[in-house]
Amino acid sequence: QVQLVETGGCLVQAGGSLRLSCAASGSIFSINAMGWYRQAPGKQRELVARITSYGTTNYADYVKGRCTISRDKSKNTVYLQMNSLKPEDTAVYYCSYSSPEGDSWGQGTQVTVSS
């Protein structure tokens, strides 16, 4: 099983930036994908960005040009750099891990963007 620990969530003003980090530990399969999802109150969880072990990335349309996902394989850590934050970006952000051996989720980190 893979454990995920997210850090970096905070209160930030609209237009600001922040970086989320997610450290994975445990039985990490070499072929995997890690990503970030978010869930706002009363809404379904939705994909923000995802990166595979090959480095392939994909982003939700609403963050394209504002977010960058990256990973440090040596640290089993994935990052989400978010810029030009908007109040509608307010949500709990969850780190995800998926592989042929199974999936894991982090506990989530709160991002609040004030107007």
- Give 77-80 contacts, CB < 8 A, sequence gap 24+: 77/21, 77/22, 77/23, 77/24, 78/21, 78/22, 78/24, 78/34, 78/35, 78/36, 78/51, 79/19, 79/20, 79/21, 79/22, 80/19, 80/20, 80/22, 80/36, 80/48, 80/49
pLDDT of 113 reads 97
pLDDT of 31 reads 84
Q: CA–CA separation, 87 vs 21, rounded Å?
A: 21
User: What would the pLDDT profile of 26-71 be if each residue is shown by its tens digit?
Assistant: 988 888 999 999 999 999 999 999 999 999 999 999 999 999 999 9
User: What would the pLDDT profile of 87-108 be if each residue is shown by its tens digit?
Assistant: 999 999 999 999 998 999 999 9
At 77, the pLDDT band (50, 70, 90 cuts) reads very high
